[in-house]
Amino acid sequence: MRALLAKLWAFLVALFRPAPRAALPPAPPEEAHRDVRAEFGPDWDGGAVIVRGEVVKDLVEANADHIRDVVLMDPELDDVFKKAEALECGGCNDGKLTGGAVRAAVARLGDAGIEATEAEAPPPADLRPITQWVIADIYRGDLGALPRFSACAATPWCGGVIIKCVQGARGYAHEEWFLRNWERVKAAAGDRYGVDFVRGAYTFLNLWQRGRDQAHYMMRTVEKAGGWDLLGDSIPWVDAEQGQPGSANSRVSVAQVIDCVSEAAETLRLELGRPVGYYGRGISRDLRIRSKMGCKYAWNASYTRVPRAMPLPWQDEDVALWQYTDGEVEHPRLPMRIEGFGDVDLSVRGGTRERMIHVLVKGGEG
């Protein structure tokens, strides 16, 4: 009887065991580590179990506080992982996955014919390369007359500050604030300027005015403040927002928005010889604007756990910055404030410092 039961058990195991799959093309462990750090941010310090493929984002995001061993796998194997999770893995805690559950799931993936390898332990936190750079952006009403830019420069993962230059075509009430602080940002950056710290400026567009006139006003003001430095100054940014209901910007037509932004971007591009960035996800979404309006990069404001896509025709590769908080909306994994600076808008740029400079300063060119 025992022999018969053993044969029956072996038959059932063979029947329901997933068919072996061909191993996926190998990916260097260091590449996988960079992907994991990009998922968890600069404070990630867990080990990693690597399975050839991509990060299972939904799983990692849902259990980020409970996983120390991160699984990388191809999306088509997601069902395999979920089946493994449901089994008696011994690592579940109130339905949330822990490192033990991850390791057990990896073992199950091994049964499915997928090669899994233990990654080398990451170096100490202070020796790891930073792969997510937080950029602060402020205007006169955020932090007073003289913000402590030195606090930003003293924070290793802070990659720079972008400040409001002007608004409209002339006579901006806080122009003097920009004139006083433009050089202060660069001075605070010190040796980091142009290496892993950028300085930037944006103009807030009055969408009922000519974009060309507003671009010229911005350029005159920057020159008056000391001028652009191509070593570490970000590409210029135009900010298009509807603002509060009843405001002048909230009453403009789609055609006015497109004309204003396009004219401002073209003027800046031709005069400065640099690409232009666009901040305006909300207005592009609400007015269903299907144009980049002469801008190369987008600054995506999305106060969500993961960024929502920019409206078409913008693609993910066009997004240079993701603004993930206004200083009040909490994010579970990204820094909420820069110590000693204040609660302000924060954006993130992933990748190496060289990549950050290549996109934000060089505009992806050269």
What is the CATH number for 223? 3.20.20.80
Average pLDDT over residues 56-71: 42
Same domain, 164 and 91: no
pLDDT(12) > 90: no
Q: Determine which helix (DSSP H) or strand (DSSP E) holds 254, and give its type and residue range.
A: helix 254-272
Give the separation between CA 154 and CA 191, rounded to whole angstroms. 11
pLDDT(279) > 80: yes
Beta bridge partners of 199: 161, 233
Of the residues 87, 118, 149, the one at which a domain ends: 118
What per-residue confidence (pLDDT) applies to 295? Answer: 97
Give the separation between CA 347 and CA 349, rounded to whole angstroms. 7
Residue 119 near residue 32 (C-beta atoms within 8 A): yes
* Residue 4 maps to a domain: no
Same domain, 281 and 326: yes
Q: Band the pLDDT of 127: cuts 50, 70, 90.
A: very low
Poorest-pLDDT segment among 24-33, 178-187, 317-326: 24-33
Same domain, 260 and 293: yes
The one-letter code for the residue type at 229 is D
What per-residue confidence (pLDDT) applies to 115? Answer: 43
- Write the DSSP symbol of residue 309: P
SS3 39: helix
Average pLDDT over residues 245-266: 95
Angle at 35 between CA 34 and CA 40, to 5 degrees: 95
Same domain, 225 and 266: yes
What is the extent of the structural domain holding 113?
15-118
Residue 292 near residue 258 (C-beta atoms within 8 A): no
Of the residues 68, 96, 118, the one at which a domain ends: 118
Of the residues 67, 94, 118, the one at which a domain ends: 118
What per-residue confidence (pLDDT) applies to 356? Answer: 92
Give the separation between CA 166 and CA 216, rounded to whole angstroms. 11
Same domain, 196 and 339: yes
pLDDT(6) > 90: no
What per-residue confidence (pLDDT) applies to 3? Answer: 65
**Number of separate domains in the chain:** 2
What per-residue confidence (pLDDT) applies to 306? Answer: 84
pLDDT(33) > 50: no
DSSP string, 171-191: --TTHHHHHHHHHHHHHHHGG
Q: Band the pLDDT of 32: cuts 50, 70, 90.
A: very low
pLDDT(165) > 70: yes
